[in-house]
Structure 1
Amino acid sequence: MAAPPNRYFLRILLFGFLISSLPVIIVGLFSYMKSSDTIQQNVNASKLLQLEQMQMNVEQVMRTVDHSMTYFVNSSFLKSAMLEPLNVEQFQLFNQIKQEVNHLQTFDTGIENIILLSTRENWYIDNSGLYRLSELDKKDHLLQYKELPFDSQWITEPVSNTVLLGQSSSRCTYGISLVKKLPLTASTKNGLAVSTIPSCYLNELLSFDKNSEAVLVFNDRGELLFGQNEELLPSEGLFAALYQDITESDSSLAQFDTQLEGTDYTVSYRKSDYNGWTYASITSLHALSKQSRAIGWFTVFICLALLAITLLVTWFGSQRLYKPIEQLFVSVFQLFPSKHDKPSRDGFVYIADQIRHVIREKSELESTMNNQIDSLRTLFMMELYQGKSNSRTIEERLKTLSLPTSFKGYAVMTLRIDFFEETSYSKGDTDLLLFAVNNIVEELVDASDRLAPIVYEQSQNTLLLNREHNQDAFFAQLVPLAGQIAHTVKEVLNLSVSFGFSGYHDKLKSAGTALEESMEAYKHLKRFGDSSAMFYRDLPQKLSFNTSYPVRLQTELNDAIKLGDRAKSDEALAELFEAVFKQQLSAHDFELTTARLLIDLIHLSQSLGIHEMELGDHSSLFEYLFKPHSPKEVRNWFLQNIVEPIIIAVEERTNSQYKNISEEIIHLIHQQYDQELTLEAIAASMHYNANYVSSVFRKETGISFSEYLAAHRHRIAIGLLQDTNISVKEISERLQYTNPQNFIRSFRKLEGTTPGKYRELHQPG
């Protein structure tokens, strides 16, 4: 006899693999292209931002030097000093000039040397001292600066040519000098002021990737002033060609790819409008696209893994799909041998021809009968639980549906799933999971010891029969049965379940009452935790609210919520629930206790101005509490849906309050700086505790109240010294100093000079 054809299996396998692999390949290619492009754009943008940051760092130093020098050379003190001969008798004036020059070099600007010279009075001052200009060897070099086109100009000179840097800067390539012709505002120039920064100082301001990036800075003549990681480039002779490529572009900010001695690079550059310098970042294209390549390889491996998994799944799936077909082919060939040596190439055509009138009708009839029996049994159990059947009807239906008829008594077992948080399921899977649990119960409990298990009222319910034992022995065997079911459900579905058992009954027409009892027993489980069993006969039979509500813990919870303390709120809520569980409450009392907690929290939220609460999937907040839930679920529900929204509202209000307090204190300081101000008085006027106001002010401004008040009064003092002729004594009295000496000491500490001398230096005329 010829073997049944197996080409259909190959078709299933090929079709399944093509259908499943095509989306994997398409999604993989699209994901790689999209993610690679996005990453590359981000990397390129980050390089431009990095260049901008380096430019800002360098120019910030140069602008600071420019502003400081301008302020210094425009001061009336220096203008008058430039007209003095600075002879021996004027050593105090020289010391004062030297002090101001040294002060300029104290700023973190990298200034190594400052030169002042007067061609009119024939003197020269630098860090080393005072000299006569006519006696200097470098006189001619210095006087060349007077020929510069602008009165204030940055120049760059190689260290080997400049006379402005000392031996400590010999390792630097260039000296960067700011030259100002003096006086700045006069047409006739009789002096110079020059401040010099070594290029290596600015070089330290550059940030770069040490492994793959070189950073270069060119002046407006294309000379390399300084840079980092130049050794990563093939040779220094390429710098000029690189600068030429940059100058050919009209854009002041751009990126382009280039090839240097056979290696591909990406060049990012910025041209400065401030001094004409060009900042360039040269990165190996191979290093720049490292992340894109990693994404590409990762995508390839993922796609290959998915294709391998797809092939395996398709193989096993095809086998499972083909297995019944193969069995059918074998059965048909055995029952109806082919009359030809070579069977039909399409096995289904052969099957249809041979067994359409026999096998298919028989299978459909058996399937229909089986389905009807199961459906009728389920319908019978639902009517039984709903109390719609009388004793006579029950006896007839038991016999018709082949259900056990001989038993002494029974109890109803209600099974429910505890929670979904730590599983791969969601609440939307409840019905499907309950049917799976129903099948497990059907397999574990012998058909002679039960009626048909059904899913009813969001639970799995089984009427368990007592055929031989007394009541106590019957209930005793239910405990290991529940454990066996729970273990199997955990092992197969990875779910935790709990059980409620009704009291003992002997008449099936009271099955509805037994079902209510089992559900009431399950509700009582909320005070025991997850995965346990409860018997209705063990429940307190009198409903009373004779409990001790943990008022102190409720108060602690309210206080923690008002302070916006999440950790303390979580701890207080956990202690409150622990105190409730210790009282061994009935399900009814537990519901009333949690309802009281909810009402107290609603009152708290309304007192804090929160008038709307998120209801989630429930029409009211109380609806959730009156449904069976595990203690962990109830506590988490309180934490996420009640406590957390109130804390968020408290935090928003507190932040707004902090800002208002700080702004009001600053306003009072600006308005009443000439009056006696204390933090205690301000806090009292605002009806706050002084320590609280102090901490809020420091948190918002970064300094203390006294520091801010002293700084503001100091600014007022500077303005009065510069713009008015009010005496120092009157200024000290106006600014609430106890005596002028205290004011003078405070002023000297901040400015390095007395108020009187400060007025002489800074007051016009």
Structure 2
Amino acid sequence: MFPLPKLKSLRANLFWRHFANYFVLILIPVIVASMLAHVLVVRLIEEDARKLSDVIMSQFTKQADTELNTLKTNMINMLSMSSIRSLQKEQARDSSLDNTERSEMIHGLRKQLIKLQADELVSKAYLIFPQHDLVIDAETYTSKSYYFNLQHPLSQQDQNQLFSRLAGKKMMDFLPAQGQDLPALMSYPFNSDTPDAYLVVNLNGSRLQQLIDVKQEWAAGTAILGREGQVLRQAGGESAWDVIPRELLSAISGQNSLFNVAGDKAVSLVPSTFDDSWSYLSVIDLNTLMKPAHITRLVSWMFLLFFLVVGSIVSYYLSRRIYKPIMEIKEGLACQSNQITQAGSRNDFDVIKRYSKLILTENQQLSQRVNGMTPIVHEHFLTKVLQGQFRDPLSIETYAQEIGFSYNRKPARTVLCVAFHVEPMFTVLSESSKSFLMTELKERMCALVPLELWLCQSKPDMLAVIMHHDPFLQMSPEECADILKLALQLYSQYFKATIGVGSTVHHLEELHQSYEQGFSVLQRRRLHSGVEICSAASHPEAPYDSFLSLQDINRMLNQVQSREYDKVLHTALQTLDQGAAANATALQIKQHCTDMLNTWIRAVEHERKDFDVLYYAGLFEEMNRCMTMEELKTTLGSIHALLFPLQEPADEKPQKFADIVAYIHEHYDQELSIEHFAGTLNMSVGHFSRTFKEEVGEKYVEYLARYRLMKAKELLRETDLRIDDIAGKVGYWGRNSFIRMFRKYEGITPAKYRMLHQ
């Protein structure tokens, strides 16, 4: 009835076909009904809610405008019936306070102010005479300074704002709010630019809030907006106004409409009939106002979801009943081979076909793995050939056929042995990074050399490059080595290298001879900084004696005994220069240096009676790592400085140990290792310990422990600190080690000591 594309899973195919029929027959009418409910019912409810909001807002604004108009009329009537003009003339003619007529006029004005102040909307009413220093209210009349500072206190800012507005005609003009009150200003005479008096009426803030407060659940807050959008008075919680930007109030002032300001808040504006520049604003909670619409929308969605779930359950039930026989067949096949359900597609009708293809797939995967391992197997084969494990043509041919290694037996070949001397940067790399770096180097070599190359890593620090001679290119092994040198120089930051050129052979079974010669000429390398190419022709063996003579050894020992340490180093460096001048190999020069270092160590041990195997082994290792003459000279200089430190005057040694003792007294709470102090004096640990005991009278470890325990006993006697805190203050990392040391020297625990001495 409803065509669907063929799916891989039969169960899914059956389910979607049943669900498609349900969708067309039942679900589409339900969706149409839900959409009609959204379009018609929900929109009608929303429109009615908006109209209700507008009607209620109009009613409460009309009520507020009526009371304000009434107050304005009362203010006009009060000023019209007052005797302000007569009082003004009397004040100008006679300013005496004892004038009876003037007092009666003021009394009459006070009665009128009392009557005006009886209005619930008015909290305070008073008259200000701008041309005279006079203020009259319902209770008294006095000077302006006294009135606004003591009688009716106003801040200096409010006074300045009030007096700045006492100019020109005013007809119910509103001033900035003073606390809870909103002052309104009216001048008299009404049409005069230089009024005789100003009537100031403070509108009661609480009463004004009651007028503008809308008692509806959807009204979060109401306010009166001024000419420029400023809020003259507001009612409602402060949170209702946090969502309204102040610049929006200025932009929408004077308009009559509904504006959305946040996801669930809107503002409604109604212009005031009392003052054209005013607007009544109401913050509307849309969630409350549109609650009936939201409920209707939720019901329609739940109605649609209900039918969707029912359709899915019915479709799944029907498809499972139809699929059950097919599933039984599939489980039976799975018992024969578990791999059937683990490979291939999910179409149950293709299970048998998939089983037949499974063997082919496994064979292809195995073939791919073998192909990926082929370069490694070939390299392993070449390594065995170079090491001489395959020396007859038949065994080489048989093994090459087994691993698929094709070669021509007759062309001439030369083995170039590349020995690597790694730098510190190479040692910190991970094994994966080292493998990628070596692979990149091999690819670069093959790309630069225009001949066929076989590459294999015969040793961890050696790469064998088998060069195939081409009769057309006529490239010699030395020229090929020069090209390899360019490739190796690009990786000088990771390792230094030496290239040994072997002999040229004409059969594959003779490659081990070329490899052995290339490896042997590597021993003839010199102490150069760059990549060096060694061959039998260019690097003949130098007639150089690499061992010290007995005479040289005795001379060095005599120099050490006579404290001529500078001559010891000078003799060693002179020997290196002689070796370089004689074109000696690096191996010969290092053997000579090894003999010199052995002589130095023997002389030092004879004097100090102290032998540290690990320390001296590190010196030999450091010397063997040197690859250039400069490195070797620098290393010998540093070793000489360690073994033969400058001798200090006899009176300086006790002073240095006195400084160490003073340092212990000041920093006994810190970690003070004997290795640190021995290093500062260029001594071994054993030599330092013996010298410390000779100078101080006690071993270093015992002296430090006794001084710390002396400080600990003071803290135990004089303070109430916990044992853990005291252990930390005297340099022990833990409570247990402190107690163990205390018991060793004092015979009791710290707690017992404190109990005995307190």
Output the TM-score relative to the length of structure 2: 0.33
Structure with more relative contact order (C-alpha pairs < 8 Å, separation 6 or more): 1
The structure with the largest alpha-carbon Rg is 2
